[in-house]
Amino acid sequence: MSTSLRETIDRLEREKLLLRINHALSPRYEIPLVIREFENKFALLFENIEGYSNFRIVAGIYGDRYRLSTALGLRENELLQKINEAIRNPEPLKVIAHSFDYTIKDGIDINILPIPTFYEKDKGPYITAGIVIAKDPETSVRNASYHRMTPIGRDLLVVRVVKRDLWHYLQKAQEMGKDLEAAVVIGVDPATAIAGAASVPIDVDELEVASALLEKPLEITKGVTVNIEYPASAEIVLEGRFLVDSMEEEGPFVDITGTYDIIRKQPVFQISAILLRRNPIFHTILPAGIEHKTLMGIPREARIYDSVRGVTIVRDVHLATWGCGWLECIISIEKRHEDEPIDAGLAAFAAHPSLKKVIIVDPDINIRSCEDVYWAVITRAHPIRDYIIIPRGKGSSLDHSGTPRARLIVDATIKGEKTLFKRANIPGSIKAEKIISRIRNSLKLC
Ligand SMILES: Cc1cc2nc3c(=O)[nH]c(=O)nc-3n(C[C@H](O)[C@H](O)[C@H](O)COP(=O)(O)O)c2cc1C
């Protein structure tokens, strides 16, 4: 298990999952374009950033389940259960002295960071892998969650805060008439990276969940200008406070669907200190890219897995990459009763209210293959009996197809005579397989 971003990079490089890019590239559009091209296959370390010679940028480190499990030192099939166990059994943290190489408190200028500008109509450069650590102003329970943010002044950022735990803390702080202290950490260990993306009950500290994932106490350090502790191995930290009563326009900016989210008034964060390591590594996440989908999706898949397990035997869960990694979920189950797939679909909606569509399949279907899933839908689902529409539900603010938001369950499991639904097989032969492999090699296919 890696305990820092640097260790994660080393580990991925040893496994040949990381590409170093030495060509000089600008963070404005150029680096995002290269990320979009290659992050499906590799984590990317940009070592030559135009205008920011001391920095490096990393992207795509958690670009798929394999990279994420490799970073966490787990096997892919252990991932969801391990996350659920960690959420159920948070572990204590260890406070250590801070070891940053630079602490900037005077003359703060956020523009020293190589913050990428991704899409053409974006409001500006955006920090997309920043995890905000804050404490409940009443109970002091800590929360860690990702929030996109963009500079609106040298020491000011406007931050997108959905109505979840951080938003709740901000509401309480506002009622008390005081600012909310926080720290934004960029470039952390994989356990913190995944815990920050998980939605846990409001009285659970995500950093303690990271500790449980690590299987040893996560090392945290005290802020120098705020009463907030944060992961000690972070590459970059922005300490500061959300200003009470200060809201500014956030967006336009692209969300997980690949389309522009609407412009809203959002909270403002004022930076009181910037802490950096020597040659800091700035982690960036391409909005709507594969890393965005993996990080947002995996903790939700874990929750869906847990919920559906209550009604049937679950084999696997996938928030489909072709469903924006958020709106469509494929679940393979071993059904024991003809109507269990419908209960499985309902349990999935309960675990992930943003879901729009759930497809339930049998275990013989590869739920990560769009072609396989839609083969099951077209051969095994009846258009009247097996498509269940739920006319109202919370749904996702990113789904613009109409309100009230409706939901769909597709039961694509086999009904009736099983042999009629099984895919035909061609018996293998060692000779034929060897020849196929030779032909592949000669064609340079893997
Ligand atoms: C890459 C990434 C970007 C995210 N961006 C935001 C965001 O801008 N605003 C937001 O409120 N949540 C965002 N989220 C979602 C929250 O971080 C995540 O759902 C978290 O679990 C919410 O935590 P909470 O339930 O503890 O409040 C993002 C998640 C990821 C993985």
Helix ranges restricted to H, 244-356:
290-309, 340-351
Confidence (pLDDT) at 444: 73
164 lines ligand 1 (CB under 6 A): yes
* Contact status, residue 177 vs residue 211, Cβ threshold 8 Å: no
- How much is the mean pLDDT over the chain? 96
Residue indicated by tokens 């689902």: 381
CA 10 to chain centre: 21
Interacting residues of 138 by C-beta distance below 8 A, sequence separation 6+? 172
Predicted TM-score of the model (pTM): 0.94
Mean pLDDT of 110-122: 98
Q: Are strands 43-46 and 328-334 parallel, antiparallel or unpaired?
A: unpaired
Confidence grade of residue 313 (pLDDT, cut at 50, 70, 90): very high
Six-digit token string for 6: 């640097």
Share of the chain above pLDDT 70, in %: 100
Closest CA to 365 of 306, 320, 325, 423: 423
* Contact status, residue 256 vs residue 267, Cβ threshold 8 Å: no
pLDDT tens, residue by residue, 358-369: 999 999 999 999
Confidence (pLDDT) at 307: 97
In the set 122, 165, 189, 255, the catalytic residue is: 255
Q: How far apart are the first and last CA of the chain?
A: 29
Mean pLDDT of 408-421: 96
Mean pLDDT of 221-227: 98
Confidence grade of residue 445 (pLDDT, cut at 50, 70, 90): low
Closest CA to 218 of 228, 232, 205, 204: 232
The total of other beta-carbon atoms located within 10 Å of residue 13's CB is: 14
Closest CA to 266 of 150, 400, 415: 150
β-partners of residue 242 are 180, 269
Confidence (pLDDT) at 16: 96
Confidence (pLDDT) at 177: 96
In whole angstroms, what is the distance from residue 110 CA to residue 132 CA?
16
Confidence (pLDDT) at 1: 80
Share of the chain above pLDDT 90, in %: 96
**Nearest ligand 1 atom, CA 131:** 17
Q: Which CATH superfamily is domain 291-421 in?
A: UbiD C-terminal domain-like (3.40.1670.10)
pLDDT tens, residue by residue, 269-309: 999 999 999 999 999 999 999 999 999 999 999 999 999 99
Task: Report how far ligand 1's centroid is from the alpha carbon of 183 (Å).
Answer: 15
Whether 255 is a known active-site residue: answer yes
